[in-house]
Amino acid sequence: MKQQKTYIVFLNDESGSMHSLTSAAIKDYNAIIDGVKTSATKHEQDTIVSSFAFGQGEVRRKVVNSNPHVLKPLTVWTASGGTPGREAIKEAINLLKAMPDYNSPDVAFAVFTTTDGEFDGDRYGGISTAALAGEISDLSRSGRWTFVFRVPEGGSRHLSGLGIPAGNIQEWETTAAGLERSTAQTAQAVDTFFATRASGQKSSTVFYANAAAVDTSKLKDISKAVSLYVVDSWDNGIQIRDFILKKRMKYLKGSAFYQLTKTEARVSPSKMIAIRDRVTGKVYAGKEARDMLGLSSVNNIRLHPGDHGNYDLFIQSESVNRKLVGGTGVLYWEEIGVEFTQDEINRYTQPAAPKPAAPAVVQLPAVAPTNKPTPSPLKPTPKVPAAVVVPTAQGKAPKALPAVNGRVRYHEPTADALFFQTRDAARELAQQLPGKKQYDAGPTAPYGRRFFVAAA
């Protein structure tokens, strides 16, 4: 199969209103580019990246048709002037249309726009909303174009005239923290996008896995067929099979769904997704749920908790030992469960192998006969001299003191110092002699002359 290719253009708002967010915007852009590099490699997708900045009443091309793996991190974000967003989108479209392989069926195009306000390009004689909407509509119908927008809270209504699918729009709180949350969700969405590209899909109308955009009328209402349980705090970490067996007499394989509350590194395409309305309590499921959430039905995906509106998401568990988090929900849908085979029952319920019984008589390791000297396996204990006495000019012999812990110690009242090889030996003597103190001559002192006792 011929490798698929995707051209991506990032359109970044560098208008004056972004001035307080420049640092956060730099981190956001670099993180998403890193996500593109990782996902393109993981899903083996040929990817070409361009980036434009729109602000100061103009559109500036910063990166044009580059391999994302050679891009250096962005360090400067200029913020001033107006927001000619429509002109930026039009210029991105013109760039992509000029690609030599534009008409290749294996090539797809994506335009990502990030802004913190409304477009005001018309003040500069730019393209009208109606004209741009018509072109976006024509491109989208080809099935090879994806337009994604990140706009401030309430900004979706300003895009209604462009015909952008609701699943491709994310509203973000225009603060550094809000942009950081948007970064995490967008990085996940980028990975999902590349997973769907690897499956052969060329565009997405649900770029953000946002359950708020799910049309429950197209899903099966399974509310009466499922039971909902909440994991108690004292059951935190319990395996899903053991938890269900605390609630019911039987556990069927594939019948339990765990609530999505943390990042799932690997969600296989065979797992079903269930959606629960928090207001009505109704639960919905069906193959269409994955499509509505923009989740690949062919490849494994990495799934993060996102902005799911008034819905909770549940993922089917295909294992018996998944650990549950206290306070989260578990759905049990018995009618889709499958009986365990006898081999599986034996594997999951087989007790631990018993420990071998201890012999009645203790058996010691056999000793091989030999007529050669056998070295001891133990290292010899080093001999440490108790003290080295420096004689005085008078040459008097030192007087012996009582031995302590096997050490023989000496004291010469008129000696300049008593030297010891160990600090402990010197300290013990110094503690028993009035007016004496233990000293350390340092690691460069001659052997046996580092620690000594002398007048305080």
In sequence order, what DSSP letters do the residues of 66-116 get, joined into one string?
A: E-GGGPPPP------S---HHHHHHHHHHHHHT-TTTT-TTEEEEEEEE-S
Residue 446 lies in a domain: yes
Q: Is residue 345's pLDDT more than 80?
A: no
The answer as to whether 98 is a domain residue is yes
pLDDT in tens, 19-57: 899 999 999 999 999 999 998 988 889 999 999 999 877
Instruction: Identify the bridge partners of residue 454 per DSSP, sorted by sequence position.
Output: 437
Task: Please report whether residue 371 resides in a domain.
Answer: no
Retrieve residue 248's tokens.
Answer: 């019911």
- Is the pLDDT at 85 greater than 70? The verdict is yes
Same domain, 287 and 407: no
Is 204 among the domain residues? no
State the pLDDT at residue 55.
Answer: 85
* Nearest by Cα to 259 from 281, 242, 276: 276
**Local confidence band at 167 (pLDDT 50, 70, 90 cut-offs):** confident
pLDDT tens digits for range 368-417: 888 888 777 777 765 544 444 444 444 444 444 444 444 444 444 444 67
Q: Please check whether residues 18 and 147 belong to one and the same domain.
A: yes
Question: At which residue do the structure tokens 């307080």 appear?
Answer: 20
pLDDT at residue 212 in the model: 55
Beta carbons of 454 and 439 less than 8 angstroms apart:
yes
73 domain-assigned: yes
Plot region of 81 (φ>0 → left; ψ -120 to 50 → alpha; else → beta):
left
Residue 344 clears pLDDT 80, i.e. is over it: no
3-state DSSP assignment of residue 241: helix
pLDDT at 400: 45
Element (H, E) at 12: strand 5-13
Give me the pLDDT at residue 46, please.
Answer: 92
Q: Which of 198, 219, 242 is the last residue of a domain?
A: 198
pLDDT of residue 435: 81
| Domain region containing 401 | 388-455
* Mean pLDDT value of segment 183-201: 82
Nearest CA among 22, 3, 2, 4 for reference residue 12: 22
- What is the per-residue pLDDT for 386? 46
**Listed ranges 9-18, 185-194, 361-370; the one with the highest mean pLDDT:** 9-18
3-state secondary structure of 413: coil
Same domain, 258 and 225: yes
Say whether both 240 and 295 belong to one domain. Answer: yes
Which tokens hold the place of 271? 């797992």
Q: Is residue 258 over pLDDT 80? A: yes
State whether 274 and 319 are in the same domain: yes
Strand 311-316 vs strand 256-259: parallel, antiparallel, or unpaired?
Answer: antiparallel
pLDDT in the model for residue 405: 47
Asked if 48 and 166 sit in the same domain, the reply is: yes
Determine the longest span between alpha carbons in the chain, in angstroms: 113
Looking at mean pLDDT, say which of 105-109, 303-307, 421-425, 445-449 comes out highest. Answer: 105-109
Mean pLDDT of all residues in 10-15 = 92
pTM for this model (two decimals): 0.56
119 pLDDT band (50/70/90 cuts)? confident
Report which secondary-structure segment, H or E, holds 171. strand 169-172
Residues 303 and 245 in one domain: yes
What residue type is 136 in one-letter code?
I
- Residue among 29, 25, 121 at smallest CA distance from 79: 25
pLDDT tens digits along 123-159 = 445 677 888 888 998 998 888 999 999 998 888 887 7
pLDDT at residue 348, as a whole number: 62
Q: What is the pLDDT of residue 100?
A: 93
Q: Where are the alpha helices (H) located in 361-453, listed in sequence order?
A: 423-432
The answer, yes or no, to whether residue 350 has pLDDT greater than 70, is no
Q: What is the pLDDT of residue 243?
A: 92
CATH code of residue 56: 3.40.50.410
Same domain, 308 and 229: yes
Within 10 Å of residue 428's Cβ, how many Cβ atoms? Answer: 18
Are residues 313 and 428 located together in one domain of the fold?
no
In-domain check, residue 382:
no
pLDDT in tens, 227-241: 999 999 899 999 998
Whether 330 has a pLDDT exceeding 80, the answer reads yes
Location of structure tokens 């003290």: 387
Instruction: Among 176, 198, 220, give the residue marking a domain's end.
Output: 198
Q: Which of 166, 198, 230 is the last residue of a domain?
A: 198
Residue with tokens 């699918």, as numbered in its chain = 165
Helix 129-141 × helix 85-97 angle, to 10°: 40
Lowest-confidence segment of 177-191, 295-309, 401-415, 432-446 by average pLDDT: 401-415
Mean pLDDT of the chain: 80
Task: Check whether residue 106 and residue 222 sit in a common domain.
Answer: no
Distance of alpha carbon 454 from alpha carbon 413, whole angstroms: 10
Predicted pLDDT of residue 84: 87
DSSP assignment letter at 295: -
Could you tell me if residue 368 is inside a domain?
A: no
Tally of domains within the chain: 3
- Tell me whether residue 356 is in a domain: no
Instruction: For residues 17 and 93, state if they share a domain.
Output: yes
The answer to whether residues 401 and 434 belong to one domain is yes
Crossing angle of helices 176-198 and 22-42, in 10° steps, is 20
High-pLDDT (> 70) share of the chain, %: 81
More confident residue, 17 or 393: 17
* pLDDT value, residue 341: 72
